Chain A
Amino acid sequence: MKKLGVIVNPVAGIGGRVGLKGSDGIEIVLKAKELGAQPESPMRAVDALKIVSNVKDSIEVITYPYEMGEEECQEAGFNPKVIGSIFRGETTPGDTKKAAEEMVKNRIDLLLFAGGDGTARDIYNSVGYKVPVLGIPAGVKIHSAVFAVTPRSAGEVAVMFLRDRLINIREAEVMDIDEDAFRSGAVTSKLYGYLRVPEESRYVQSVKTGGIIAEKEALAGIAADVIDKMDDDDCYFIIGPGTTTRVIMDSLRINNTLLGVDIVSNRQLIASDVSENQLIDLIKGHRTKIVVTVIGGQGHLFGRGNQQLSPKVIREVGIKNIIVIATKEKLAALSGRPLLVDTGDEGLNKELSGYIRVTTGFEDYVIYKVGY
């Protein structure tokens, strides 16, 4: 029998309706409640769980007490196993983390959580890759890619996953928003980590199609295309963060820093997880190329997780030495919106904008628009 873990962050999104951004931190929560805010995420959780209750006889549900899942599960028709303890009405991120840890110990097959980016971060910190996770969107700001589109679709994907059908597991970005900056109007997020998220597998109706390259093959092709350019002994390659760039490192059998920046030359590792200053030092006197991919749901090339690639570094390398890699699927998901650059340097942003060639497979490219 499959086990489903359910965690609800009852205060996620509570600030939204009353004009407060985010809800992390007890002061914000109290202020929101003062302003008469009602919690939203419990309702969203129930929406999702009602869909899952279609299979309630064939799964076991484990959750946390009261408003952290027990009430929502019961409302949706489940009779869940309740573990842990909390203070009703005063839940904290610490509770979320503990809940996740204990559920992993209980050997759940899937963790369904309701919350926002903050909740996603907390879960990432305690779960990492140990168990597949799926988010029910319930917070104000959703920058992380670990969430389903709607509570209902979260429920549906959960059902399909628990029934062992048509499911891919992909690595989805968890984004970290700078809360204070956010409240004063500045949006800066950065790549925080990755969670393994189930997603509905597309039945690829390829009766009419031909020569279509599957995603895995496309990634291998992208890596091969970039690696072929590494035959120049003197050239340094700065490999940015992300799962697409990781394929290059894997092909070279070099340890990869998923969230950081590595330097490779002549197919060997030069340095791992470097900072901006280290980069400046190391690349002096070498011809260098930067390899970056798309980070975050808005399609950023620079500014959302690779701040080590500062304007100084980019200028030192030279704009024409930037190699962008991404699968066609990733680009299609942008629905025609341009890729974005947010280096912090307006002038540089302008120079970077226009059209670039994205490597989407072996000797397979897409010309795409870049904006700022």
Chain B
Amino acid sequence: MGRDKNTLLRKFHQARWDEEIILEMSVPGERGILVPRAEEGIRAEIGEGVSVLGNLRRKVPPALPEVNQMRINRHYMRLSQETLGTDVNIDISQGTCTMKYSPKFQEHLAARHPGMTEIHPLQDEDTIQGILEMYYKLEQFLKEISGMDYFCFQPGGGAHGVFTNVSIVRAYHKSRGDKERTEAITTMFSHPCDAATPRTAGYKVVTLMPDENGYPDLQAMKAALSERTAGIFITNPEDTGIYNPRIDEYVKAAHDVGALCSYDQANANGMLGIARAIEAGFDLCQFNIHKTFSAPHGCMGPAMGAHGVKAELAKFLPVPRVEFDGKRYYLDYNRPESIGRVRSFYGNAPIVMRAYAWIMQHGAEGLREVAECSVLNNNYIEKKIREVPGVVVRYAKGKRRLEQVRYSWEKLKEDTGVGTEDVMRRMGDFGLQHYWTSHHPWVVPEPFTLEPCESYSKDDIDEYVAVIRQISKEAYEDPEFVKNSPYNLPVHKVLAPSIDETERIAVTWRQYKKKKGVK
């Protein structure tokens, strides 16, 4: 009964409901919900109220499906069963995503307490002191954790946080009348948003390739820096899990040419209380609250990129800021040099609440424990994964990595023809989420990146490793079997997952019907 005690493998099978698309379930006349109607008194006074629309009135109602409520509930429940969230699997697979446990009491308050759900952001400040207090206090916590002087919670995601930092760097140089700063520097192993966001902001982007040891080349950095450099935007430790011990030299080199340094701390989980942005000399930093600070990932959001800056850059921060005058909390919109806004209102308040609660529950020692255990977990899994036949680990030979590692199946591919995408699909058959490979281009061939953050136990890690080992074994014994996986999941292998021919593009049901000639 249950997971095999020796092999640690499960006879997992995910729900496979073969659900149609909701629009195929329509029964003319069925209602999913009845909506409030205008009262008699209102109708008497106003009438039907819609003739004012003239020919802007919609002539044909939208072709939404007509389905009864129970069926709709059943449909989406089934789809949820066909989704392997962190709640149901040992989610070590999604490297750089830090899939940690989101404490349920936080989730219940965020979703159910009217003091959070029924709040309008423009309410009189006196009526939202609780929310503003959490904003203010969370800011103080993150200031301490990073060493920065000010924080802002407006961005809706990590990349958005980096973009906001880029906007601040841009405003800084503009305010000094410097028209030469047209370039931004990043590294190949940083998150792609560290290149994409400066590009969006109009900068030319210079990328540094990793040297033979996996570090971005410092000499190359110096060759790239000039008076045209506005800023450097890097992630450290990088997505390979390797910490660059000379990071402060990079920062110094950038400062020497008058550039600012922005620290993408998407990979902060192993560093809480251990190392901070300020000591390395950074001017700006960014945390993914939905990664390190326990907010759930929600099928790709909602999320938050909390970004911090040193004092001299504070005047450029987006409006409004949450301030405290000793007695009450208030919103400050009077910031003439601000870059303006990157989003409506002042950020994802429920996420602020979760981060606040999580930090309050852990305290300084707890945060330290988070960091230490995530690094210990990673070193533990690394040792075991390295022993799996077919695995190769490039770079940083003999050096310790922090909270994640990028591995490679290049030997497996050479020996058996089974590559990382095949193994990735097969993972699901054991009840584990498909691991994440790497950003593009794949500098490390046949990559996979694992991150066993502190939420996972030794037993969880052992089970995970057992599955990887099993799939490697299968690859050597019967490569075709692995290549045609998955078998126990809601669907089978997709024939051509890159849809790049015009005829095959079907991003909505109506587009699909048109292309297939379905009525």
| Binary interface encoding of chain B residues 436-448 relative to chain A, with 1 for a CB under 8 A from any of its CBs, else 0 | 1101111100000
Question: Which partner residue on chain A sits nearest B224 by CB separation?
Answer: A367
A153 within 8 A of B: yes
Using known A-B contacts A156-B417, A354-B223, determine if residue A211 contacts B206 with beta carbons closer than 8 Å. Answer: no
User: Chain B's nearest CB lies how many Å from the CB of A160?
Assistant: 11
| Given A149-B414, A336-B211: A210 in contact with B206 (beta carbons within 8 A) | no
Tell me whether A367 and B220 are in contact in the complex, defined as CB-CB below 8 angstroms, given that A150-B414, A153-B417, A156-B417 are known contacts: yes
Q: In the complex, what residue of chain B is closest to A368 when comparing beta carbons?
A: B209
CA distance A37 to B139 in the complex (A): 75
Interface bin, chain A: 35 or more
B424 and chain A: residue at smallest CB distance: A205
Q: How far is the CA of A204 from the CA of B440 in the complex (A)?
A: 8
Nearest A residue (CB) for B421: A203
A212 within 8 A of B: yes
Q: For B414, list chain A residues within 8 Å (CB).
A: 149-150
A143 neighbours in B (Cβ, 8 Å) = none
Q: Chain B residues near A204 (CB, 8 Å)? A: 440, 498
Chain B min CB distance to A58 (Å): 16
Q: Which stretch of A91-99, A108-116, A325-333 is in the interface? A: A325-333
Q: Is residue A346 contacting chain B, with contact meaning CB distance below 8 A?
A: no
Q: Counting CB contacts under 8 A, is A165 at the interface? A: yes
On chain A, the residues within 8 Å of B436 by CB distance are: 205, 208
- Quote the shortest CB–CB distance from A112 to chain B (angstroms): 16
Does A364 lie within 8 Å of B205, measured CB to CB? yes
Shortest Cβ-Cβ A-B pairs, 5 listed: A211-B196, A355-B223, A363-B204, A367-B220, A367-B224
Contact A369 B217 (CB under 8 A): yes
18 contacts between A and B (CB under 8 A): A51-B417, A152-B417, A166-B496, A204-B498, A208-B439, A210-B193, A211-B199, A212-B192, A355-B220, A355-B224, A357-B206, A364-B205, A365-B204, A366-B188, A366-B208, A367-B217, A368-B220, A369-B220
Decide: A210 and B196 in contact? CB cutoff 8 A. yes
> How long is the Cα–Cα vector from A354 to B220 in the complex, in angstroms?
9
Given A201-B498, A365-B205, A366-B209, A355 and B441 contact (CB-CB distance below 8 Å): no
Provide the A37-60 mask, 1 if CB < 8 A to any CB of B, else 0.
000000000000001000000000
Tell me whether A367 and B498 are in contact in the complex, defined as CB-CB below 8 angstroms, given that A153-B417, A202-B442, A210-B159 are known contacts: no
A308 to B335, CA, bound (A): 61
- The answer to whether B440 and A212 have CB atoms under 8 Å apart is yes
Interface residues of B in 189-213 (CB under 8 A from A): 192-193, 195-197, 199-200, 203-212
Say if the beta carbon of A184 comes within 8 Å of chain B.
no
Contacts of B203 on A, CB cut-off 8 Å?
Answer: 363
Question: What sequence of 0s and 1s flags, for each residue 474-508 of chain B, a beta carbon within 8 Å of any chain A beta carbon?
Answer: 00000000000000000000011110000000000
Q: Is the CB of B417 within 8 A of A211?
A: no
Shortest CB-to-CB span from A6 to chain B, Å, is 20
Distance (Å) between the CB of B94 and the closest chain A CB? 9
A360 at the interface (CB under 8 A from B): yes
CB distance from B67 to the nearest CB of A (A): 29
In the complex, number of A-B residue pairs with CB atoms less than 8 Å apart:
101
The contact of B212 among A201, A209, A336, A354, by CB within 8 Å, is A336
Q: Mark A275-290, 1 if CB is under 8 A from B, else 0.
A: 0000000000000000
**Given known A-B contacts A204-B498, A210-B196, A355-B220, A367 and B206 have beta carbons under 8 A apart:** yes
Given the complex, which residues of B lie within 8 Å of A369, measured CB to CB? 211, 217, 219-220
Residues in B whose Cβ lies below 8 Å from that of A153: 417
Known contacts A149-B414, A166-B498, A369-B211; 20 further A-B pairs (Cβ under 8 A): A166-B496, A203-B421, A203-B497, A207-B300, A210-B192, A211-B193, A212-B196, A332-B442, A332-B443, A336-B210, A336-B211, A355-B223, A355-B224, A360-B207, A363-B199, A364-B205, A365-B204, A367-B207, A368-B220, A369-B220
CA–CA, A52 and B195, complex, Å: 42
Using Cβ atoms and an 8 Å threshold, which residues of chain A touch B193? Answer: 210-211
Cα-based distance from A18 to B206 in the complex (angstroms) = 48
Minimum Cβ distance to chain B for residue A339 (Å) = 11
Q: In the complex, which residue of chain A has the Cβ closest to the Cβ of B97?
A: A208
Chain A positions within 8 Å of B188 at CB level: 328, 332, 366
**Nearest B residue to A163, CB-CB:** B495
Centre residue among A51, A150, A366 by max chain B CB count within 10 A: A366
Q: Which residue of A lies closest to B300 (CB)?
A: A207
Q: Which residues of B contact A331 (CB under 8 A)?
A: 209
Q: B197 to chain A: which residues have CB within 8 Å?
A: 211
Give the CA-CA distance A236 to B176 in the complex, in Å. Answer: 38
CB atoms of A328 and B199 under 8 A apart? no
B417 touches A367 (CB 8 A): no
